[in-house]
Amino acid sequence: MFAAALVFDAAIVPAIDASGLLLVATGTILAAVGAFTRTDPREGLPTWFATVFGAFYASMLGFILRLGHQAPALPDGAPLGALGADRGWIVLLVLAVWSFDTGAYVIGKRFGRRTFLTHISPSKTYAGLIGGIVAATVVSGLVLVGLGQPAASALIVGPLVSLAAQAGDLAESMLKRAAGAKDSGTLIPGHGGVLDRVDSFLFAAPVLALYVLAAFR
């Protein structure tokens, strides 16, 4: 409920303001009160922390909506002007993350030799990371031109979104390893749970939203 409230807040509040912080504070208090029922404080404290962290972590998906709220107006004649600024920048996020994932998989599978952070995810390779960044940068450049922005901006947007998406994927892998689970759920046969499909967006969305705030405000 806490996570859903934070995402709903992102949908109805047209700017990044303090309302979300109020929800975080309220949820933190309620989770603490719920933890009081644990007779052993050594159980109550991690229960409290895990509840607040889990809700906040999942609610970061709400930054996709906040990205749409913060998107700069599209200039006249932008090729993708029919999408509107909000949907256009969300499309940029989605395509950049997907292209990173695809590029990392294809290049990593074909050329991947040296791995990194194997204690979290044994399949991640430097070649895959570079391939994903290149793919995301090219796709970001095409979409940015469609949004009436200079293609050169992709040299910032592509790597930023790529590295954030990679971090999001690794963070979820760390959570699964800590829990001793292969997937976050079984809702999607062959693909794990919903969290396995959106983990990259949890980190990429706030990073791109921060870029928009820094570049256009």
Q: Which of 51, 38, 143, 55 is nearest to 91 (CA)?
A: 143
CA distances from 212 to 139, 153, 160, 170, 173 (A): 18, 11, 12, 24, 28
CA distance 202 to 195: 9
Name the most confidently modeled range: 24-33, 51-60, 66-75. 66-75
One domain for residues 93 and 147: yes
One domain for residues 198 and 106: yes
Are 83 and 92 in contact by the 8 Å Cβ rule? The answer is: no
Does 21 score more than 70 pLDDT? no
Residue whose tokens read 């859903």 = 4
Does 38 score more than 70 pLDDT? yes
Are 184 and 195 in contact by the 8 Å Cβ rule? The answer is: yes
One domain for residues 87 and 193: yes
Domain hosting 86: range is: 76-217
pLDDT band at 96 (very low <50, low <70, confident <90, very high): very high
Percent of the chain whose pLDDT exceeds 90:
52
One domain for residues 147 and 196: yes
One domain for residues 58 and 86: no
The per-residue pLDDT for 5 is 55
pLDDT band at 107 (very low <50, low <70, confident <90, very high): very high
Cβ neighbours of 91 (radius 10 Å): 15
CA distance 5 to 65: 13
Q: Which residue has the higher pLDDT, 200 or 18?
A: 200
The per-residue pLDDT for 217 is 75
DSSP of 11-22: HH-SS--THHHH
Pick from 70, 92, 110: which residue ends a domain? Answer: 70
CA distance 51 to 57: 10
Give the max Cα distance, the chain: 64
One domain for residues 32 and 80: no
pLDDT tens-digit series, residues 146-181: 999 999 999 999 999 999 999 999 998 888 888 776
Pull the structure tokens for residue 43: 């159980």
Span 116-140, mean pLDDT?
Answer: 95
One domain for residues 12 and 44: yes
Does 6 score more than 70 pLDDT? no
Task: Report helix, strand or coil for 189.
Answer: coil
Span 60-81, mean pLDDT?
Answer: 91
Task: Report helix, strand or coil for 115.
Answer: strand
With 0.85 as the threshold, say if the pTM is over it: no
Pick from 20, 55, 70: which residue ends a domain? Answer: 70
The total number of structural domains that make up the chain: 2
One domain for residues 126 and 21: no
One domain for residues 122 and 203: yes
One domain for residues 118 and 196: yes
pLDDT tens-digit series, residues 118-129: 999 888 999 999
The per-residue pLDDT for 192 is 59
One domain for residues 93 and 196: yes
Q: What is the DSSP letter of 120?
A: T
One domain for residues 206 and 110: yes
The per-residue pLDDT for 165 is 96
Pick from 23, 51, 70: which residue ends a domain? Answer: 70
The per-residue pLDDT for 47 is 86
Residue whose tokens read 């009160």 = 33
